[in-house]
Amino acid sequence: MSRNVQDEIKSMVEGNDVLLFMKGTPIFPQCGFSSVVAGVLGHLGVEYASVNVLEDMEVREGIKAYSDWPTIPQLYVKGEFVGGCDIIKEMFEEGELRPFLQDKGVLSADA
């Protein structure tokens, strides 16, 4: 039976309100960019699921094709690709990330 990685990724993205594809885990990120995004989400108090792409090379390459985005980490909110480290960091620094997450219903208005 052949594996359909794109279907697996789609299922993960659609099955989690907030999903971070990253290198490592939120507690033990294994690259600086993944660490930044996990840190921002943690700072904001966002509950999120994560996928360690280092554990599965097919997912690691498949997520790049799925999003048409060449780098990891990748953040998805309510099934929508938001961006990688630079975009998330910029949104946070510009004060845009918190309202975006609140509008999507994944962060309480008083957070």
Average pLDDT per block of 10 residues along the chain, 111 residues long: 85 98 97 98 97 97 96 98 98 98 91 64
d(CA 36, CA 29): 9
Give the HSE-up count for residue 57: Cα atoms under 13 Å, Cβ half-sphere: 0
Q: What is the pLDDT of residue 3?
A: 77
Whole-prediction pTM: 0.95
**Which SS3 state, helix, strand or coil, does residue 42 take?**
helix
d(CA 85, CA 62): 18
Q: What is the pLDDT of residue 2?
A: 57
Q: What is the pLDDT of residue 53?
A: 98
Q: What is the pLDDT of residue 1?
A: 47
Task: Give all strands of the β-sheet with 49-52 in edge-to-edge order.
Answer: 49-52, 18-22, 74-77, 80-83
Structure tokens, 36: 């930044």
Q: What are phi and psi of 50, to 5 degrees?
A: -135, 155
d(CA 30, CA 41): 16
